Amino acid sequence: MTEKRTPSPRPSRSTQRPILRNKRKIPRQATSNVAFVRETPQPGDPLLDFAPVVTPNQRKNTITPDLQRAFIAHLAANGIVIEAARHIGRSAEALYRLRLRPDAAGFRMAWERALDWSMTRLEDSAFARALNGEEKPILHVGKVVGVERRHNEALVMFFLRTRLPHRYDQQKEVGPGHPLYEKVAAAYAEERRRIDNDPANMARSRRNLDIMVARWYKAFMALWEERLALMGIDTTGTAFKARAEELKQKGFWPRETPEQFGIKIHLSDEEQEPQAER
């Protein structure tokens, strides 16, 4: 099985939505996945407020904190690592090596946030296509004779299932509060009540419990007789029986019996067969 790299957890997207600008001259043409561009974060943007990697001995090709913030800002605008690296005049390989340094935790988190913010460009463009559709030219004999607006129903259903799964996706996130979950839970609870209140099941459960208690009682009595035997007391001898009868008459002999505690001795089917033979 191919080993998959576990992605680092992304922080939740900020409540402040990235600024998107429609770069098309005609607003109705803003249906392409490249129709919107992300405005570059300004110096006061919270995205750039991270702890950069500081190199003590800087060289000519060192990626300084200012270059790191410029890279993050450009990455948030377009979402392409190679282009953001070219923007600051460094290679993508050097930036990936910088990302792997132990002291680059803040830089890595800002990188992930920048990628998450750049996804709004694709998300908003796809959402615009789902709502507004796309204009397709109508060709006749090689000439455009008109246009028609087409809607991508699969894209519409994708947004409905992902944004409103409790309404439109019956196989996703079915948990407490979901109508399907509550329906199945109510049916299961009703069936359990019916089974638990069935007289035959109750009698069967009671008999199984009595069998378990009877086995425990027999094991306890056998252990007690074994302890008496180790002390040199023969419980089957006439002397022991006579002494036991004398103590019973004086009231010093324990009178606890299984019936006193409401225990009914039931034998299982395997235990009844040797009992019948005897």
- Longest C-alpha distance within the chain, in Å? 122
**What integer pLDDT is reported at residue 71 of this predicted model?**
92
* Least confidently predicted of 3-12, 50-59, 130-139: 3-12
Q: Other CB atoms closer than 10 Å to residue 107's CB: what's the count?
A: 22
| Bridge partners, residue 135, by sequence | 149
Give the pLDDT of residue 144: 85
Q: Which residue has the higher pLDDT, 277 or 201?
A: 201
Per-residue pLDDT at 256: 56
The string of pLDDT tens digits covering residues 30-39 is 444 444 555 6
- Confidence band for 111, pLDDT divided at 50, 70 and 90: very high
Q: What is the pLDDT of residue 106?
A: 93
pTM of the model: 0.42
What are the boundaries of each domain within the chain?
Answer: 20-132, 133-163, 208-277
pLDDT band for position 13 (cuts 50, 70, 90): very low
Question: What is the reported pLDDT for 92?
Answer: 92
Mean pLDDT of the region 218-246: 81
Q: Would you say residue 29 has pLDDT above 70?
A: no
Determine the pLDDT at residue 249.
83
For 121-184, the DSSP string reads HHHHHHHHHHHH-EEEEEEETTEEEEEEEE--HHHHHHHHHHH-HHHH-TTSS--TT-HHHHHH
What is the distance of C-alpha 91 from the center of its chain? Answer: 38
17 vs 58: which has the higher pLDDT: 58
Residue 7 tokens read as 């992605």
pLDDT at 120 > cutoff 60:
yes
Give yes or no for a contact between 76 and 118, defined as CB atoms under 8 angstroms apart.
Answer: yes
The 8-class DSSP code of residue 42 comes to: P
**Which pLDDT band, with edges at 50, 70 and 90, does 24 fall under?**
low
User: Alpha helices of 169-268 — where are they, by DSSP H?
Assistant: 179-196, 199-230, 238-250
Element (H, E) at 97: helix 92-99
Mean local confidence (pLDDT), 77-99? 91
Nearest CA to 88 among 110, 68, 116, 117?
Answer: 68
How does DSSP assign 1-36, residue by residue?
Answer: -PPPP-PPPPPPPPSSPPPEEE--SSGGGTTSTTSE
73-86 confidence digits (pLDDT tens): 888 888 889 999 99
